[in-house]
């Protein structure tokens, strides 16, 4: 038996001082030799725990062996057999808590860098195969399916349904397909050309995408069903921003993370005035929240030229919900973490411009229902931080439009759509499925893709019965 | 792409586009708006619908040249297209039987008031319209508005046509003399005009609906840029409005938030002027 190699091949990244000033991708990816070397470390174990750890069950050992042997087209075919969006997943999936954490080599802290290999295969295809690897859909069934929302859940459901042979149309509210992949995740973490490349792959399967179409306004779910669609999948995500609910929150310069990121990523405000949409370039920026969206917002603010960017989080470092990799990236780039800090009120001037935020120091008490230790205000600990831009990244909930305009759909008190069968996303309304953040509340790209995939299989079963 | 079937110049700096958008036309209702983006580098701007033709599949919007985007929009001609035209968005104006309704239209907002006045008339209301403009040469659709109004009062700031003065003066007079008849006031126009219309009607206790126009990005409830304070509660104008009770609106907050990007707007306009009229830029 060959000796186990536990040394993960590092992936090069832009230097922190350099990348903190540009919107180019931070991680630079493997070259072929690096990818092949990493692929050789996979021991091709019989248990295949990585496949079970993947929400869309990619045949990970198979694509790795094809890559190792230089059979790149095979690697692409295997990977895309299960995952229509590998270039995206290779970049933004939390592999460290999914496929990689269960890798047999993880017991010895040498887990295979599956995400980096996935990214390599996807990028190889994009650069080497024009138009992508052809996929043959099943014979047409003549059944029509409507997908609402073109984010990760919708794109995945659409791709699978098209492969099953159904006639699929996606309705997207914004002017470009991709949902949160376009408006939320920044260019330096997920280049928009890669998202559009994978959207084009979904289109190449025969999926139609109707942009500028706000379902609930331009057409309702019931009208879609009456118009000849035999099933509808709701993948509209969690697009409604949550604010802090503290005094002064409507001052100028205070953004929801959704607004800030939409201006920067979707509308390309970092190229203003070449692009028409502006964003306030803060010198002293405070970001509230500790998740990936907070990290993205803070790192965008740095790149827009801020002198100082704070992350204010009411718990401690250990409870930060963001991926560790993103926390480290942010720290390296110079984002300052003010932990155990919670805002009390915003302070503004006569022009309604925010000038500061008064905060409390916090301490951690007993665990709450989320299992994390509950933050408690230290009385009399108020202090003020000078800021000129604030970004609120404390979470999102589903946009209520669909629920408000659809008879017979059930929603929870959090505004999420209730599904009667969680595994496949069937809602209580006949012929309507839902998956992704609209069901779970804000979660990850890959969990939304998993939900889209499972719903697609169930819709297919329903349409054939 | 959404084709401009007809461009019409109504008065200096105010233009009408009839745009081919059958699905939007099918659903448009009075008081709703659309988001327009001219091209790939453009911003998304909200424009309230002025009219629609479900049979023809067209939606009519009227806009005034204010900033870069509206000036760029004004360079488009019949047969040209805009890249995006999203709608209908927002909640429609609530149309009901109120008895007599006063419609107050300031400046180019007569275009927005028209479909609401028509719907109010069709619902059996008596419609009194007050149409105000700075000067005679900025007035349009007088005859159109007259057709859907039982009474029409015109004011100009400079007295070049109709009554000299502001729309709030006849508004106050009508309420003083015929308050019991008036079931509702709808005031749409520049924010300052809406504020003073609401202040005028408040002592009379007649519910006054205004259509707010804060800055928007997506227009679908996603970003919260358009947040306004109504009755002390933060609302999103794009999905909770744009119509709100004018007596409950925090006007100063609205004015302040509308000025968020004054510096950026100036910079953008300078760039546009340089690009569109390079010969006029001074070295």
Q: What is the ipTM of this complex?
A: 0.94
Integer Cα distance of A279 and A295 in angstroms: 18
Distance from CA of A163 to the nearest CA of B (A): 29
The pLDDT of residue B274 is 86
Integer Cα distance of B118 and B122 in angstroms: 6
B271/A399 touch (CB, cutoff 8 Å), yes or no: no
The radius of gyration computed from the CA coordinates of chain B, to the nearest angstrom, equals: 19
A243/B24 touch (CB, cutoff 8 Å), yes or no: no
Residues of B in contact with A276 (CB under 8 A): 41-43, 68-69, 268
B162-171's contacts with Cβ under 8 Å and 24+ in sequence apart are: B162/B131, B166/B132, B166/B193, B166/B196, B167/B104, B167/B105, B167/B106, B167/B130, B167/B131, B167/B132, B167/B193, B167/B197, B168/B193, B168/B196, B168/B197, B168/B199, B168/B200, B170/B130, B171/B102, B171/B104, B171/B130, B171/B197, B171/B200, B171/B201
The pLDDT of residue A64 is 97
Any A CB within 8 A of B260 CB: yes
The pLDDT of residue B282 is 46
**Rounded mean pLDDT, B67-79:** 95
Half-sphere exposure of A188 (CA within 13 A, CB side): 29
Residues 137-196 of chain B with CB under 8 A from chain A are: none
Residues of B in contact with A239 (CB under 8 A): 220-222
Starting at the edge strand found earlier in the chain, the sheet holding A389-392 runs A254-256, A389-392, A284-288, A308-312, A336-338
Residues 79-108 of chain B with CB under 8 A from chain A are: 83-89
Distance from CA of A62 to the nearest CA of B (A): 41
The pLDDT of residue A122 is 95
Assess whether pLDDT exceeds 90 at residue B276. no
B23/A213 touch (CB, cutoff 8 Å), yes or no: yes
Distance from CA of A358 to the nearest CA of B (A): 21
Residue with tokens 């970004």: A391
Integer Cα distance of B282 and A66 in angstroms: 64
The pLDDT of residue A133 is 56
Regions of chain A where pLDDT drops below 50: none
Integer Cα distance of B211 and B30 in angstroms: 11
Say if residues B61 and B146 touch (Cβ distance below 8 Å).
Answer: no
Say if residues A433 and A459 touch (Cβ distance below 8 Å).
Answer: yes
**Rounded mean pLDDT, B5-30:** 97
Burial of A345 (0-12, 13-18, 19+ CB in 10 A): middle
Q: Which of B69, B86, B223 sits opposite A259 (nearest CB)?
A: B223
Q: Tally A–B CB contacts below 8 A.
A: 111
Phi, psi of A306 (to 5 degrees): -65, 145
Say if residues A133 and A73 touch (Cβ distance below 8 Å).
Answer: yes
Say if residues A215 and A173 touch (Cβ distance below 8 Å).
Answer: yes
Say if residues A79 and A118 touch (Cβ distance below 8 Å).
Answer: yes
The pLDDT of residue A1 is 53
Say if residues A3 and A82 touch (Cβ distance below 8 Å).
Answer: no
The pTM (predicted TM-score) of the whole model is 0.94
The pLDDT of residue B283 is 42
Any A CB within 8 A of B233 CB: no
Q: A203-246: per-residue pLDDT in tens?
A: 999 999 999 999 999 999 999 999 999 999 999 999 999 999 99
Any B CB within 8 A of A220 CB: no
The radius of gyration computed from the CA coordinates of chain A, to the nearest angstrom, equals: 23
Tokens encoding B155: 């004011």
Tokens encoding A291: 């998740």
Q: Which of A148, A217, A247 to mutate to test the interface with B (most CBs of B within 10 A)?
A: A217
Task: Supply the DSSP string of B125-145, one letter for each residue.
Answer: -EEEEEEEESSGGG---HHHH
The pLDDT of residue A442 is 87
The pLDDT of residue A3 is 76
Distance from CA of A273 to the nearest CA of B (A): 6
> Would you tell me the crossing angle of helices A114-128 and A192-204 to the nearest 10 degrees?
70
Q: Which of A268, A276, A354, A395 to mutate to test the interface with B (most CBs of B within 10 A)?
A: A276
Integer Cα distance of A446 and A96 in angstroms: 13
Confidence class for position B280, pLDDT limits 50, 70, 90: low
Any A CB within 8 A of B259 CB: yes
Nearest Cα to Cα of residue A61 among A30, A91, A104:
A104
**Rounded mean pLDDT, B88-98:** 97
């Amino acid at each position: 038996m060959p000796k186990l190699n536990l040394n993960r091949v590092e992936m090069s990244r832009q230097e922190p001082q350099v990348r903190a000033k540009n919107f180019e991708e931070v991680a630079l990816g493997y070259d072929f030799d690096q990818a092949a070397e990493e692929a050789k470390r996979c021991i091709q174990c019989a248990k295949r725990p990585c496949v079970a750890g993947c929400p869309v069950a990619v045949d990970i050992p198979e694509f790795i062996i094809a890559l190792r042997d230089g059979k790149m087209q095979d690697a692409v075919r295997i990977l895309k057999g299960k995952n229509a969006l590998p270039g995206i997943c290779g970049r933004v999936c939390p592999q460290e808590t999914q496929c990689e954490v269960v890798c047999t080599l993880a017991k010895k802290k040498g887990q295979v860098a599956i995400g980096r290999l996935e990214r390599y295969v996807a990028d190889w295809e994009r650069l080497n195969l024009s138009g992508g690897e052809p996929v043959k859909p099943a014979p047409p069934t003549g059944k029509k399916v409507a997908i609402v929302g073109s984010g990760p859940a919708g794109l995945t459901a659409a791709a699978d349904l098209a492969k099953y042979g159904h006639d699929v149309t996606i309705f997207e509210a914004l002017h470009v397909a991709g949902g949160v992949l376009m408006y939320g995740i920044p260019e330096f973490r997920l280049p928009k050309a890669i998202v559009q490349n994978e959207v084009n792959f979904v289109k190449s399967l025969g999926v139609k995408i109707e942009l500028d179409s706000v379902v609930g306004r331009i057409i309702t779910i019931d009208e879609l069903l009456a118009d000849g669609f035999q099933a509808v999948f709701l993948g509209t995500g969690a697009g409604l921003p949550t604010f802090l609910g503290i005094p002064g929150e409507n001052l100028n310069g205070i953004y929801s993370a959704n607004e800030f990121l939409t201006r920067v990523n979707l509308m390309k405000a970092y190229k203003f005035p070449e692009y028409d949409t502006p964003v306030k370039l803060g010198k002293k920026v405070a970001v509230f929240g500790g998740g990936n969206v907070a990290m993205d917002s803070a790192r965008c603010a740095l790149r827009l030229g801020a002198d100082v960017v704070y992350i204010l989080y009411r718990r401690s470092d250990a409870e930060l919900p963001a991926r560790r990799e993103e926390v480290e990236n942010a720290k390296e780039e110079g984002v300052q973490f003010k932990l155990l800090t919670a805002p009390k009120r915003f302070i503004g001037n006569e022009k309604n411009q925010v000038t500061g935020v008064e905060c409390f120091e916090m301490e951690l008490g007993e665990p709450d229902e989320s299992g994390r230790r509950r933050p408690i205000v230290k009385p009399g600990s108020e202090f003020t931080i000078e800021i000129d831009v604030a970004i609120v990244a404390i979470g999102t909930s589903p946009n209520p439009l669909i629920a408000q305009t659809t008879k017979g759909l059930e929603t929870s008190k959090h505004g999420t759509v209730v599904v009667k069968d969680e595994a496949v996303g069937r809602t209580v309304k006949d012929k309507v499925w839902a998956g992704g953040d609209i069901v779970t509340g804000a979660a990850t790209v890959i969990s939304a893709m998993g939900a889209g995939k499972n719903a697609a299989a169930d819709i297919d079963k329903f349409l054939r019965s | 792409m959404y084709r401009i079937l007809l461009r019409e110049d109504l008065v200096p700096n105010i233009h009408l586009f009839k745009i081919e958008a059958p699905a939007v036309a099918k659903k448009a209702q009075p008081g709703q708006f659309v988001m327009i983006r001219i091209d790939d580098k453009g911003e998304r701007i909200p424009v309230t619908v002025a009219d629609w033709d479900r049979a023809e599949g067209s939606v009519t919007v009227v806009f005034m040249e204010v900033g870069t985007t509206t000036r760029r929009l004004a360079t488009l001609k019949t047969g040209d297209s805009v890249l995006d035209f999203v709608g209908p968005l927002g909640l429609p104006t609530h149309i009901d039987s109120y008895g007599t309704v006063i419609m107050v239209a300031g400046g180019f907002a007569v275009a927005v008031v028209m479909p609401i006045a028509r719907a109010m008339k069709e619902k059996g209301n008596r419609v009194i319209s007050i149409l105000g403009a700075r000067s005679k040469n900025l007035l349009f659709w007088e005859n159109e508005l007259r057709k859907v109004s039982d009474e029409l009062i015109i004011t100009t700031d400079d007295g070049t046509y109709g009554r000299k003065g502001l729309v709030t003066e006849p508004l106050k007079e009508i309420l003083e003399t015929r308050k019991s008849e008036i079931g509702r006031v709808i005031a749409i126009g520049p924010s300052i005009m809406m504020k003073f219309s609401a202040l005028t009607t408040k002592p009379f206790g007649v519910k006054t609906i205004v259509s707010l126009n804060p800055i928007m990005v997506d227009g679908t409830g996603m970003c919260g840029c358009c947040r306004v304070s109504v009755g002390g509660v933060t609302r999103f104008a794009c999905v909770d409005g744009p119509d709100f009770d004018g007596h409950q609106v925090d006007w100063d907050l609205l004015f302040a938030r509308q000025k968020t990007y004054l510096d950026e707007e100036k910079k953008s306009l300078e760039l546009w002027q340089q690009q569109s009229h390079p010969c006029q830029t001074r070295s």
